[in-house]
């Protein structure tokens, strides 16, 4: 069952230097109970896409076009008052930095309870009881004690679990996790991802996972969208994307994933792979393929004409002039 349908989303920001084209014609769908990963390096438009869905961009400087249909409603046409009823209640979000997202002067219990009292109308005591249950749900030990502690008293992994508890407080239909494992060590990263997967099985919540690291999505995502310079360059089922990446940028991201012992194998590079160059400025119009300046396969056509996202096989689409020629394969 389709839960979210984003069509031709464009998000531009006004600045003194001109318009910043942060998101340019992005479309995707998400079904109930499924996980969609949106990946790409910094500046690719991942977080702006999520903030557009949540309606958290400053309308004085940001302009959205296209449609974001959630539960039969176009979120871009709703008033701020209507969006406040949806945020935290029907759509939850785990922000990138839990230390800066959590209020340092309010206890963990009060911050979880605020969501419950606002959207669910619970009393103070009922909200506290539910908050303890939520802390237990996200595997925080001794929740009866932790509920009265403050963010600085918790580890990074625990703070991230608190953020997940707040996002899940009202049992939302959609959970958006923006870089939920950033700045966490590998062991805690795995724990957080396992927690999200387990909670999804228990609650049926759909998840949008935003990350720059393709290495963290292999086991949790059903589908993957690869974004570059505000554009979708490839979309496929997770297994298909890892087995048959078609866009040079996707191949570059996959090549940067460290593999244990690879430097000891014959024929393998002794250092980590990298994608040379930088993301082009989004303040200037991009002619042709946005990745052409960093792509070793690019030809004159790539620099003069923007590729269209085209379906190449069942459920697998790519925006690359050379995909059919196997040049990027």
- Give pLDDT, residue 91: 96
Q: State mean pLDDT over 15-42.
A: 93
- Six-digit token string for 261: 């012992």
Quick one: 207 and 239 in the same domain? no
* Of 49, 22, 37, 41, nearest in space to 230 by CA: 22
The torsion angle over the Cα atoms of residues 219, 237, 204 and 230, rounded to 10 degrees, is 100
pLDDT at 324 over 80: no
Dist CA 191 CA 94 (whole Å) = 15
Size of the chain, expressed as the number of residues it contains: 329
The residue with greater pLDDT, 212 or 142, is 142
69 found inside a domain: yes
Whole-number mean pLDDT of the chain? Answer: 90
267 found inside a domain: no
pLDDT at 299 over 60: yes
Q: Among 63-67, 218-222, 299-303, which is the least confidently predicted range?
A: 218-222
The torsion angle over the Cα atoms of residues 174, 210, 114 and 58, rounded to 10 degrees, is -100
- Judge contact between 27 and 214, C-beta under 8 A: no
* Of 18, 22, 19, 24, nearest in space to 6 by CA: 24
Quick one: 87 and 211 in the same domain? yes
Q: State mean pLDDT over 218-230.
A: 94
Q: What is the pLDDT of residues 50-60, one digit of tens each?
A: 999 999 999 89
Quick one: 206 and 243 in the same domain? no
Residue 214 — pLDDT band, cuts 50, 70, 90? confident
Quick one: 155 and 294 in the same domain? no
Quick one: 185 and 319 in the same domain? no
- CATH number, residue 38: 3.40.50.300
Tokens 């096989």, located at residue: 313
Quick one: 243 and 214 in the same domain? no
pLDDT at 96 over 90: no
Quick one: 244 and 310 in the same domain? yes
Q: Structure pTM?
A: 0.90
Quick one: 181 and 162 in the same domain? yes
Dist CA 253 CA 5 (whole Å) = 26
Strand order in the sheet with 206-211: 91-94, 174-178, 206-211, 35-39, 223-228, 231-237, 316-318, 310-313
Q: Among 40-44, 93-97, 121-125, 132-136, which is the least confidently predicted range?
A: 93-97
- Six-digit token string for 241: 């994307």
Tokens 């690019």, located at residue: 298
Domain that residue 279 falls in: 231-260+273-325
pLDDT at 7 over 60: yes
- Give pLDDT, residue 40: 93
Dist CA 165 CA 199 (whole Å) = 10
Say if strands 35-39 and 62-70 run parallel, antiparallel, or are unpaired: unpaired
- Give pLDDT, residue 148: 97
pLDDT at 271 over 80: no
Quick one: 49 and 155 in the same domain? yes
Instruction: State whether the Cα torsion 295-300-303-307 is positive or negative.
Output: negative
Residue 329 — pLDDT band, cuts 50, 70, 90? very low
Quick one: 144 and 117 in the same domain? yes
In total, how many domains does the chain have?
A: 2
């Amino acid at each position: 069952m389709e839960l979210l349908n984003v069509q031709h989303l464009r998000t531009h920001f006004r600045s003194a230097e001109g318009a910043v084209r942060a998101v340019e014609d992005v479309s995707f769908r998400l079904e109930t109970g499924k996980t969609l990963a949106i990946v790409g390096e910094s500046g690719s438009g991942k977080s702006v896409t999520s903030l557009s869905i949540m309606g958290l961009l400053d309308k004085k400087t940001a302009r959205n076009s296209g449609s974001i249909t959630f539960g039969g409603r176009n979120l871009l046409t709703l008033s701020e008052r209507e969006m406040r009823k949806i945020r935290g209640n029907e759509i939850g979000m785990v922000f990138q930095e839990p230390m800066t997202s959590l209020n340092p002067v309010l206890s963990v219990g009060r911050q979880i309870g605020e969501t419950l009292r606002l959207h669910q109308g619970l009393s103070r005591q009922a909200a506290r009881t539910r908050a303890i249950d939520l802390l237990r749900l996200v595997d925080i030990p001794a929740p009866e004690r932790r509920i009265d502690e403050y963010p600085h008293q918790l580890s990074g992994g625990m703070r991230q679990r608190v953020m997940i508890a707040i996002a899940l407080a009202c049992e939302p239909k959609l959970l958006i996790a923006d870089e939920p494992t950033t700045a966490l060590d590998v062991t805690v990263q795995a724990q957080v991802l396992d927690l999200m997967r387990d909670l999804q099985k228990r609650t049926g919540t759909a998840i949008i996972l935003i990350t720059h690291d393709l290495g963290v999505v292999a086991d949790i995502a059903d589908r993957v969208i690869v974004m570059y310079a505000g554009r979708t360059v490839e979309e496929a089922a997770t297994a298909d994307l890892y087995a048959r990446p078609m866009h040079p940028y996707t191949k570059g991201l996959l090549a940067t994933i460290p593999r244990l012992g690879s430097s000891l194998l014959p024929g393998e590079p002794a250092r980590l792979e990298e994608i040379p160059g930088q993301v082009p400025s989004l303040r200037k119009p991009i002619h042709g393929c946005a990745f052409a300046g960093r792509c070793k396969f690019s030809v004159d056509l790539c620099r003069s004409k923007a590729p269209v996202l085209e379906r190449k096989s069942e459920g697998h689409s790519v925006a690359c002039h050379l995909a059919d020629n196997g040049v990027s394969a």
